Every structure is written in C-alpha cells, then in structure tokens.
Structure 1
Amino acid sequence: MTTACEIPAVPAPTVDRLVSSQFVRLLVMVFGSGLSMYLLTSVVPLYLAANGSGGAGAGASTAAMMFSAVAVELVVPRLLARWGYQVVLGLGLVLLGAPSLVLLASASLPLVLTVCVVRGAGLAILVVGAVALVADLTPPARRGEALGVYGVAVGVPAVIGLPLGVYLTQVIGFGALFVLAAVASLAGLVALIGLPGRIAVADQHVKVLGGVRRHGLLMPTLVFAAVTLAAGISVTFLPLAVAEDKQSLVAAALLLQAIAAPLARWLAGRYADRLGPARLLAPALVLAAAGAGSLVFLPSPVAILAGSTCFGIGFGAAQNLTLTLMYNRVDRSRYGQVSALWNLAYDGGWGLGALAFGAIVAGTGYSTAFALTAAVVALAVVPALRPRR
C-alpha cells in the first residue's frame, strides 16, 4: 500500500542499442574483406610491373577493378531484393577473395585483368550490401553514429593493408600474400552466420537511378561525388607532383589523411544524430576544399601535411554526413538504392577525378590543376547550404 507522500517511480528512458551481435558480425566481415582488398591494391600493379607488363598494365589493373565495381553496383539492390543479405554478401566475399588464388598460376596481363574485374564485382556487392545492412540493423536515432563506426571498420584496413601489402611482398613474396588476401575475405563467410537472411521489407526499390531527385537524393550524391573526385586526385597525383627526395613526406601526408578520414567519419556520425547531418555538411565541405586548395602551395611541407590532414577530416565527415542524410530521406524499401548511389558517387568520382586531372595537368601544371580541384569542392558548398524544398 502506498502512502500519500510516496512518489511514483518514473521508468528509466530507453536507449536505442547500437552494438548488437549482428552488427559486430557485420563489422568483422567488413574488416576482413577490406583487408583483403587493400593488401592487393598496390601489390597487383607491382606484380604486373615485376613480370614485364610495365606501367600501362599496372594502371589497367586498377581501372579494371574500379569500372567493374561501378557497373555491378547498379544491380546490387536487385540482387539483395531477390536473394537477401546472407546469400549476396557471401557471393561478394567469394568473388573478392577466391580469385586472388588464381594469381598464383600466372602473371599474364589478360589473366590478372580478369581477376581484377571479378574482384571488383565482389567489392561492389560487399560495399553496397554492407552499407544497406548497417541502416537495416541499427536504430534510426543512432544511424549516423552506426555509419561512423562502420566507417572506422572500413578505414582501418586501408591504413594497415596498403603499406603492409607492399612490405610483405619483400618478406613472404607475392604468392603467400595472394593466399593471405584470399583467406582474409573468405574467413568472413563465418561471420555471415546469424545475419538476416532476407530483407525485412518485401517491396524493395531496385532501380538505382529512379526517383533520385524526387526523394532528395540528388544533392548529397553530387556533393559527395565532388569530394571523392578530389580524393582520387590527391592519392593518385600527390606523389607525382612532389620531387623524389620528398616522397617520405608524401607518404606521411597520405597516412595522416588515411587516419583522419575514418576518425572524422565517426565523430561526424555522433554529432549528426544530435544536430542533423544537413547542418554539418557545409562546414565539412569547406574543410575539404581548404585541404585540396593547400596543394597549390607545393612543395611546402606545411601545405602537404596540413592540407592532407585537413582534407582527410573534411572527406571523412562528408562520407558520413551525405550517407546519413540520404538514409534519413527514404524509407527502408530504398536502403539498397541509397547504398548503391552513394558508392557510385564514391567510385565514379574517384575515377573521373583521376582521369580529368591527368588531362588538365598536362596543359596547366600542378598548381592550376589543384586550384581547379579545390574550386569544384568549394562549389559543392552551395547546394549543401540550400534547404530541401
């Protein structure tokens, strides 16, 4: 029996749980597949060059994987709607990992390019499927933070795998490294146990480009493409724009950029859940533009180090903010479409930037070309500031 002076108990506020067993399994799978990809990103061109294919063959291997990924990303939402997460992600792990073993047989250019095409298809399946599953598994109120944690799980393999792959070629050789890359991806099949077999919403939107403008997806897609364009340029051309005696400085700058991006992606996610991603997007783009613009002052060490770090922060934040903004504007039936669009902007901007910059720099020089790159990112601030009607 309660008395008049007793105060009724107030139930504790419920907190949406972010880290579930399924989310942990997904992160383990993402880490392994990312390590498999980055271990061979720089090694496959080295493998071709060491076996007589030259620079053209090395460049073709990267292009083959990238364009394959872009093409397959268009059909992944349809695969997810038909087969569900477990089957499709399992297919991606096999396509990314198993072909690495084929490289043990030969270093002939046609064979290596075929392997790159198949691995690119696996990469496309994994990145689109994993991002869509993050949105499906985590509570909407903490989606930005969840995507930030996912960004760290994706970013850490890049920091580890890129230098480690090149180093291990001198220690264990190409063959053992190919086996290691295959195991890193295929081991993720175990992590698929317990993940959702089918998509929760039966009526999935599978047309990647359908209704993009009507649902407010066009602006964040184009804005993110502008930032990834600059990212592809910095990674590809910064080593070429700096003298050989300062390559250690370039390596340090790219490492700082690789570390800053996932950290910024995580922090942006935490604050986006509280403040809204749209309010933070323009400042992130300003940082990215400032970082890209600093490269105009090459070969200044301050420009290289501070600019790369600043760009990494803006790039990482923009990754999270654009993706969170896109997911917040659609229902669950369009999660696959959002993931595919975002990854198309990532890969397409990266590749287009490298191709366009290479053509521009031949006629203008590096300073002018880097200034134009910064201008493209700065222009993206304008649509990011405009409220959606």
Structure 2
Amino acid sequence: MVHHPPAAQANASASTIVEPILTTPLVRLLVASLGALGSFYLLMPVVPLYAVGTGAGGVGAGLTTGVLMLGTVLTELAAPALIRRCGYRTVVALALVLLGAPAIVLLASSWPPVVLGVCLLRGAGLGIVFVAGAALAAELAPDARRTETLGHYGAAVGIPSIIFLPMGVWLSRHVGFAPVFVIGAALAMLSLMAVRGLPARSSRVEPAPTGVVRDPIDMGGLARPMVVFAAVALVAGVLLTFLPLSLSASSPGLAAVALLVQSCTTPLARWAAGRYGSRYGARLLLPAVIAVVGGTAGLACVHGPLAVIACVALFGIGFGVAQNVTLALMFDRVARSGYPRVSMLWNLAYDAGMGVGAVGFGLLVAPIGYSAGFALTAAVLLTVLVPAWREWRRFPPAQGEPDG
C-alpha cells in the first residue's frame, strides 16, 4: 500500500530542493577563466626572461611586469561600466582576445616598446577576467549557495598558477620562447569556444527587497571586508615577493617548495571557506586573519625547513579563507546590479594591497633585515583584527552554537 505525503509535507520537501552549482553556464565560465588565467600565468615569468634575453636588462624585465599590472588596474576600474554597456559575454570574449592575440606579436618583434605594448594589452585582458569572472560567478550562483559557488570558482581559478607558472619557465628553457608564446595564445583563443554559452546580460529578476531598499553599492557595508582583505593582500605581496629572496642564500630549494605549498593550500582553503561559508559566514574571517598573522610572525623567528613550510601553509590557509569570506560578504551587501563594481573593488584591494606590501617591504628590508621585516608586517596586520572581530560579532552564530 502506497502512502502519499500530505500536501504541506510535499510543499516543504519541494522547498528544500538544493539547486545545483555546476550549471552549464558556470562550467563554461570556468573553462573560459581557466584558459585566460592559464595563458596569463604561462607567460607571466617568461616575458621578463625574454626581455632580459633580448638585451633589455633588469629594468626592462621589471617594466614588463609593471606595465602588465598597470593595464590590469586601469581596466579593472573601467570593467563595471564595460560590463554594464556590453554585457558579460562580450567582455569575456574581449578579455580572451586581449590575452591571446598579442602573445603572437612577440614572435615577430622583441623591440622593447612592442613587448611593453603586448604586456599592457594582456594586462587589460587580465583585469576584465578578474572583475567579470567573479561577478558572473556570483550572478550564476543560486542565492542560497552563493558563498559555496564562489568557493568552487576561487579554488578552480587557483589551479592555473600551480600548473602554468613553473611550466612556462621550464618550457622556455628547454624548447625556447616561441612555442611558449604560441601555447599562451592558444590557451586563450581556444577558450573563446566556451563564451558562446555565457549569458549576454543578467536574466535573473532581483526580488524587491523588504524594509530598507539597498543601494547598488553601499560603501558603508563594504568598507570593513575591503580593509581587512587589503591588509591580508599586503602580507601576501610581502611573502610572495621576498620569501624566496630571504631563503635564496641558505635554502634555495626550500623557497620553491614553500611557494608550491602556498599555491596549493590557498585554493583549497578558499574552497573549504565556500563549502562552510553559509554556516559560519563572517565568523571565518577572524580566524583567517589570525592564521595569516601567525604564519607571518612565525617566519620571523623560525629557520628549520619544516617550520618554514608550516608557517607558509598557515598563511596560505588564512589567505584562501579571507579571499572567499570577504568577497562573499561584499556580494551579500549589495543589490545584484552592483556585482561588477563589488568585484572591481575587491580586485583593486587585492592588487593595491599586494603592490603596497611589496614596495613598502622593499624599502624596509635593507635597514632592518628580513626577520624584523616579517615581524613588522605581522604587527601591521594586527590592526585589522578589530574590524574582523566586529564582523564576527555581527554574524549570527551557526545553528547549535551558543551565542557568545
């Protein structure tokens, strides 16, 4: 005998259906993003080597990265308006073309102005990918699983750095620069096939908010997570730039292992933060900052290989969690029409924090040394424990957790 559930129970069951994360549009976005970032990371360490090999010297090598990031930041500022005017599908396609096509030009000319022009165009493509990718991932996510979707997206886009950064250097040494430029162009251009299935514009209707109507951008609600993430990114700029230099004399092999550990732990932590973000939300931010502080401070006083690896892993975990939590918080506090601008602000906090950290530490390291510099960096980060703690207090406790 078959028992049919009451109508109320059936309705309740229907309301608890979990919407899938990996929809076809999101998979296409991941393919496009992985192709774009694979192209970027493959050539990022190779173009400076190419510049040095053609006689540009250390100044020329530095300019290639500087111009690349200049193009990135300038385009990040313009990306929200570009998305609003042209739609997601068009700007993602433009980004892939800007990352892919200029790489072929390097086959024809090594003249420094041409190389810098290529870097500027590729930086522009990268800026669009950063802003449009995160905004569209949030757009495509089910409302109840946005944090989890951002965790999946963040973990996926961390993979290219693990694979393609070392691959570019290895290939350039063993097969030459030309094949690397061709592969970098192909990764981006072939990814154009995934763009066809992306939405041109948002097709979702934003529900009318109850009570107070949110502005598309509420800077009051965005300031704390932005400041916290910028400070964490500052530490990342210091460690990723100067940790290899601090270890180069005593343990050059350890530097490579440490960076690999960081490259792996950060996307894994970003995924985990997304997986549990709907339950713990902003309460993950304070432990993330503490982990970054602990890992950075540890590097100031430890010297054994295992201790260094442990400190870098602790930093990587905190960095990954902070990435996902701050981005999710910022998306949660704006209307859907504000997603592109939120993505732009978050990416600017990332880039500016890393840049300020690297430059500031570079000015300090000569007079005070690496150990004191790492300790001072950790001390600077202590200042954002207060806004992180306020976010922790603001977020309701998880179900079953006593309210402290």
* Bin for the TM-score computed over the shorter chain: over 0.9
Q: Which of 64, 81, 84 is matched with 1:61 structurally?
A: 64
Q: Using the TM superposition, give the Cα deviation of residue 70 of structure 1 relative to its aligned residue in structure 2, in angstroms.
A: 1.1
Q: Distance in 2 between matches of 1:356 and 1:212?
A: 30
Distance 1:243 1:75, change over 3 A: closer
Q: Point out where structure 2 has 5 or more consecutive residues left out of the alignment.
A: 207-215, 396-404
Q: TM-score, normalized by length of structure 2?
A: 0.90
Alignment check: 8 A CA contact 2:217 2:334 kept = no
Distance 1:6 1:267, change over 3 A: closer
Alignment check: 8 A CA contact 1:201 1:332 kept = no
Alignment check: 8 A CA contact 1:80 1:199 kept = no
Q: TM-score, normalized by length of structure 1?
A: 0.93
Q: Using the TM superposition, give the Cα deviation of residue 43 of structure 1 relative to its aligned residue in structure 2, in angstroms.
A: 0.8
Q: Distance in 2 between matches of 1:141 and 1:273?
A: 8
What amino acid sits opposite 1:372 in the alignment?
Answer: L
Superposed CA deviations along residues 133-172 of structure 1, whole A, max 9, x for unmatched, are: 0011011211111111111221110000111111111232
Q: Distance in 2 between matches of 1:108 and 1:304?
A: 41
Could you say what secondary structure the match of 2:251 adopts?
A: helix
Q: Distance in 2 between matches of 1:115 and 1:143?
A: 36
Corresponding position of 2:45: 42
Q: Using the TM superposition, give the Cα deviation of residue 225 of structure 1 relative to its aligned residue in structure 2, in angstroms.
A: 0.8
Q: Using the TM superposition, give the Cα deviation of residue 55 of structure 1 relative to its aligned residue in structure 2, in angstroms.
A: 1.6
Asked whether 1:265 is paired with 2:263, we answer: no
46-55 or 299-308, which moves further after superposition?
A: 299-308
Superposed CA deviations along residues 47-100 of structure 1, whole A, max 9, x for unmatched, are: 111222222211111111112211111110000011000111111111111111
Could you say what secondary structure the match of 2:325 adopts?
A: helix
Asked whether 1:324 is paired with 2:328, we answer: yes
Could you say what secondary structure the match of 1:242 adopts?
A: helix
Q: Using the TM superposition, give the Cα deviation of residue 384 of structure 1 relative to its aligned residue in structure 2, in angstroms.
A: 1.1
Alignment check: 8 A CA contact 1:296 1:366 kept = yes
Distance 1:212 1:329, change over 3 A: closer
Distance 1:50 1:383, change over 3 A: same
Corresponding position of 2:317: 313
Asked whether 1:237 is paired with 2:242, we answer: yes
Q: Distance in 1 between matches of 2:5 and 2:236?
A: 59
Asked whether 1:118 is paired with 2:114, we answer: no
Distance 1:272 1:202, change over 3 A: closer
Aligned-residue RMSD, C-alpha: 2.0
Distance 1:176 1:6, change over 3 A: closer
Distance 1:201 1:78, change over 3 A: farther
Matches within 5 A, 1:71-220: 71-200=74-203, 211-214=217-220, 216-220=221-225
Alignment check: 8 A CA contact 2:217 2:342 kept = no
What amino acid sits opposite 1:254 in the alignment?
Answer: L
Distance 1:243 1:137, change over 3 A: closer
Distance 1:176 1:376, change over 3 A: same
Could you say what secondary structure the match of 2:108 adopts?
A: coil
Q: Distance in 2 between matches of 1:379 and 1:6?
A: 59
Alignment check: 8 A CA contact 1:66 1:351 kept = no
Superposed CA deviations along residues 220-255 of structure 1, whole A, max 9, x for unmatched, are: 111111111111111111111124351111100000
Could you say what secondary structure the match of 1:52 adopts?
A: coil
Q: Using the TM superposition, give the Cα deviation of residue 8 of structure 1 relative to its aligned residue in structure 2, in angstroms.
A: 2.9
Asked whether 1:292 is paired with 2:290, we answer: no
Identity score, percent: 50
Asked whether 1:224 is paired with 2:222, we answer: no
Q: Distance in 1 between matches of 2:303 and 2:286?
A: 28
What amino acid sits opposite 1:190 in the alignment?
Answer: M
Q: Point out where structure 1 has 5 or more consecutive residues left out of the alignment.
A: 204-209
Could you say what secondary structure the match of 2:86 adopts?
A: helix
Q: Distance in 2 between matches of 1:202 and 1:74?
A: 26
Distance 1:331 1:109, change over 3 A: same
**Number of equivalences:** 379
Q: Distance in 2 between matches of 1:332 and 1:243?
A: 47
